[in-house]
C-alpha cells in the first residue's frame, strides 16, 4: 500500500473512525537521506509529521469530507493519546483538514500523561469508580502505585496490572497489524473502501479487556 508517499506503510483499523498507520520504513528512508540526519528520535518525528501532512492532503483531495486528529509518537499508545489530546487542546491545523500533535521526547511524553485522565488508558474505561476512590485521576498518578496496588485496587490479574504499569509510563510494545487494502493509493482506497474495511472484525482484541471487566 502506498499512503501518500509513505511507502510500505502498514495500516490497522482500531475502530469505526480510528486507525493506526506505521510509517517506520518511510521515516527511516527519509532520515537516512538527510545530510545531517543522525537517526535521532526528533528527526524521525519530523519525518513522520511531514508524512502525516501528505496523507491529510491526499484525503483533502479525495471525496472524503472528514475532519481528523492525528497523533504522532514512537508507539501506538502514545499516538492514540496524542490524537485525543490534539482535539481537546485545538492543536494546530494539519493541511487544513485536521489537527496534529507530535510526541517527540520524554518531556512531551510526561506532559501528555499528566494531561490524560487515567480512565483513558486502554482497559481502564470500566474502572472509573475504582480509579476515583484511589485518587488516581490522571495517568501520571498511576505511576506512584505498585504492581500489587494496581492489581488489588482495580481487581485485575497480575498480567493486566503489569500492562497498566507499563502503559501509565507510556510504554507500549504492541505492533501495528496490517489490513490489506484492495487498492494501492490512499486517495482511491480510502475514498471508496475505507468504511467497509473499518467494519471488519478486529484481528486481535486488547488483552486487557477480559481481565478488566468488573
Across the range 8-17, mean pLDDT stands at 78
Sorting pLDDT into bands at 50, 70 and 90, what band is 38? Answer: low
Nine-digit cell at 80?
A: 492514540
DSSP tag of 142: G
Give the per-residue pLDDT at 30. 80
pLDDT digits 0-9 by tens, 115-144: 999 999 998 999 999 999 999 999 999 999
pLDDT digits 0-9 by tens, 164-202: 999 999 999 999 987 654 544 444 444 444 444 444 444
Q: What is the mean pLDDT of the chain?
A: 77
pLDDT digits 0-9 by tens, 88-105: 875 555 555 678 889 988
Cα separations (Å) of 174 from 82, 84, 177? Answer: 17, 19, 9
Amino acid at each position: 500500500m502506498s499512503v501518500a508517499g509513505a511507502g510500505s506503510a502498514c495500516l490497522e483499523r482500531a475502530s469505526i473512525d480510528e486507525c493506526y498507520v506505521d510509517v517506520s520504513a518511510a521515516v527511516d528512508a527519509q532520515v537516512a537521506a538527510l545530510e545531517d540526519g543522525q537517526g535521532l528520535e526528533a528527526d524521525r518525528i519530523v519525518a513522520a509529521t511531514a508524512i502525516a501532512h501528505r496523507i491529510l492532503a491526499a484525503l483533502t483531495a479525495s471525496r472524503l469530507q472528514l475532519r481528523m486528529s492525528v497523533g504522532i509518537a514512537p508507539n501506538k499508545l502514545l499516538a492514540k493519546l496524542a490524537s485525543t489530546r490534539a482535539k481537546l487542546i485545538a492543536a494546530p491545523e494539519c493541511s487544513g483538514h485536521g489537527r496534529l500533535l507530535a510526541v517527540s521526547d520524554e518531556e512531551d511524553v510526561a506532559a501528555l500523561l499528566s494531561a490524560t485522565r487515567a480512565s483513558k488508558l486502554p482497559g481502564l474505561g470500566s474502572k472509573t469508580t475504582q480509579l476515583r476512590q484511589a485518587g488516581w485521576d490522571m495517568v501520571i498518578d498511576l505511576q506512584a502505585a505498585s504492581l500489587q496496588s494496581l492489581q488489588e485496587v482495580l481487581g485485575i490479574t497480575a498480567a493486566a496490572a503489569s500492562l497498566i504499569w507499563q502503559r501509565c509510563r507510556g510504554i507500549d510494545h504492541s505492533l501495528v497489524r496490517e489490513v490489506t487494502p484492495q487498492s494501492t493509493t490512499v486517495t482511491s482506497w480510502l475514498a471508496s473502501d475505507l468504511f467497509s474495511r473499518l467494519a471488519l472484525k478486529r484481528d486481535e482484541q486488547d488483552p486487557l479487556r477480559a481481565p478488566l471487566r468488573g
